[in-house]
């Protein structure tokens, strides 16, 4: 098989890239080692920056998002027993975020790709990439007991942290940076109305909590927990009881509980691989970087990678210029490190670190007090939370 771009990974990054390239008349094949049902069964983030929503609309896959997405112009910070609202829209000239589950975004992109009759190979086993440092890259995989080969101009590695693409790069050509946090997030999905109309981030002496949602009838809640905990050891009753203790009085009164649909524990880590280009291979999304979920940057960073990469590939084919391909890694990494900084700061501010003791808790509360009472500090948080413009810092 011959194509212009081989995309490894059929998560939202790979599917979004494929759709943007298709809209520009560039041929791409998407390979995924899991089944389509498995991909749709993964419970992931659900907070989209405007950059991401605008890309979905550009890719002709944003109609349902525009109908069903929940627009948020602010968020609440709960600390020292009281809530304080950050008016993101008011501070940033109307910019906002949209609550729309990553699963729904993936489904929309799958449907758009299927409607266009584009090739996606699911359950592609033993995927391997070859000659990406030369002029004729190749991708090999097994399907239905036979080996297949794709020749292409470029390979896009959108296959996540554990994927084959970054692992195929010689160790001498790549440098990685990592920070592992000493706690995880215990998450519960339940068909109950949200605690608030906007997200509530909680700093309490018992640990962090997040009150989020997927719709007006489905909520997503998180609790900071030790890495030694197991999700199956937390009953629904124990989860709701602990969340109740971390809320303010008004939150406790409004909290609606119910049986969990899904329950899992996610470890928190920061990770960056540099560079993000190796010859004809380009990494995007979790294949190159991971952020703690506190700032909801993971999916949005993947989307900005895809925006840079799709624009560079379109420039290559339409204008016969490789300028965008040449600056891809540097552009992405500048944005990645800004998001890593924000996610690290927000994680450090909102979570309990036992080694810091009561002094650390008081310092957090003092910084949060400054944050909500200083317009400059609130603006800095708001503009990072809603997402910096794609061209920020490039001039």
Of 141, 289, 293, 331, which one is the catalytic site residue? 293
**201 counts as catalytic:** yes
- DSSP single-letter state for residue 196: S
Known catalytic residue at 263: no
Q: Which residues, in sequence order, are CB contacts of 224 under 8 Å at separation 6+?
A: 183, 184, 185, 186, 207, 208, 209, 351, 352
Nearest to 394 by CA among 333, 305, 344: 333
Instruction: Determine the Cα–Cα distance for residues 324 and 318; give it in Å rounded to an integer.
Output: 12
Share in percent of the chain as helix, strand, coil (round to 5): 40, 25, 30
Distances (CA, A) of 2 to 135, 149, 210, 259, 369: 14, 9, 47, 49, 58
Q: Are 165 and 265 in contact (CB under 8 A)?
A: no
- DSSP code for 293: G
- Catalytic pick from 201, 221, 222, 328? 201
CB 158 within 8 A of CB 9: yes
Q: Specify whether 72 is catalytic.
A: yes
Task: Please tell me which residue in 12, 22, 72, 141 is annotated as part of the active site.
Answer: 72
Give the DSSP H or E segment for 298.
helix 298-319
142 is catalytic: no
Annotated catalytic residue 297: yes
Looking at 289, 297, 316, 331, which residue is catalytic? 297
Scanning the structure block, which residue is given the tokens 């975020």?
97
Pairing status of strand 154-157 against strand 5-8:
parallel
Give the residue carrying structure tokens 């009085």: 249
Residues 161 and 286: beta-carbon distance below 8 Å: yes
- Write out the catalytic residue numbers: 72, 201, 293, 297, 385
């Amino acid at each position: 098989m011959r194509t212009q771009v081989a995309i490894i990974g059929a998560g939202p990054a790979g599917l979004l890239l494929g759709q943007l390239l298709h809209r520009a008349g560039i041929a791409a094949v998407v390979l995924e080692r899991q089944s389509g049902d498995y991909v749709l069964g993964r419970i992931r983030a659900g907070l989209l920056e405007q950059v991401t929503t605008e890309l979905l609309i550009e890719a002709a896959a944003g109609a349902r998002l525009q109908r069903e997405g929940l627009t948020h112009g602010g968020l609440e910070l709960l600390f020292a027993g009281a809530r304080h609202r950050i008016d993101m829209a008011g501070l940033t000239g109307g910019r906002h975020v949209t609550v729309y589950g990553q699963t729904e975004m993936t489904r929309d992109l799958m449907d758009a790709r299927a409607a266009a009759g584009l090739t996606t190979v699911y359950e592609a086993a033993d995927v391997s990439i070859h000659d990406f440092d030369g002029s004729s890259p190749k991708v090999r995989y097994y399907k239905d007991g036979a080996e297949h080969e794709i020749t292409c101009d470029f390979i896009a590695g959108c296959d996540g942290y554990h994927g084959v693409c970054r692992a195929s790069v010689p160790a001498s050509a790549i440098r990685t940076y990592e920070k592992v946090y000493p706690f995880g997030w215990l998450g519960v999905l339940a068909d109950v109305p949200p605690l608030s109309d906007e997200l509530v981030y909680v700093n309490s002496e018992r640990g962090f909590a997040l009150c989020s949602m997927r719709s007006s009838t489905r909520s997503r809640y998180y609790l900071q927990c030790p890495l030694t905990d197991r999700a199956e050891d937390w009953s629904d009753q124990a989860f709701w009881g602990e969340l109740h203790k971390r809320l303010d009085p008004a939150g406790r009164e409004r909290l609606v509980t119910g049986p969990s649909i899904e329950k899992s524990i996610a470890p928190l880590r920061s990770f960056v691989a540099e560079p993000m280009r190796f010859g004809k291979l380009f990494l995007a999304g979790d294949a190159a970087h991971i952020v703690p979920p506190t700032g909801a940057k993971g999916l949005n960073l993947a989307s900005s990678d895809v925006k840079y990469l799709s624009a560079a590939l379109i420039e290559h084919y339409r204008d016969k210029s490789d300028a965008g391909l040449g600056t891809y890694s540097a552009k992405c990494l500048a944005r990645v490190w800004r998001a890593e900084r924000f996610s690290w700061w927000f994680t450090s501010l909102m979570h309990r670190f036992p080694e810091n003791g009561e002094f650390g808790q008081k310092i957090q509360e003092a910084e949060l007090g400054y944050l909500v009472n200083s317009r400059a500090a609130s603006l800095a948080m708001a503009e990072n939370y809603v997402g910096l413009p794609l061209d920020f810092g490039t001039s």
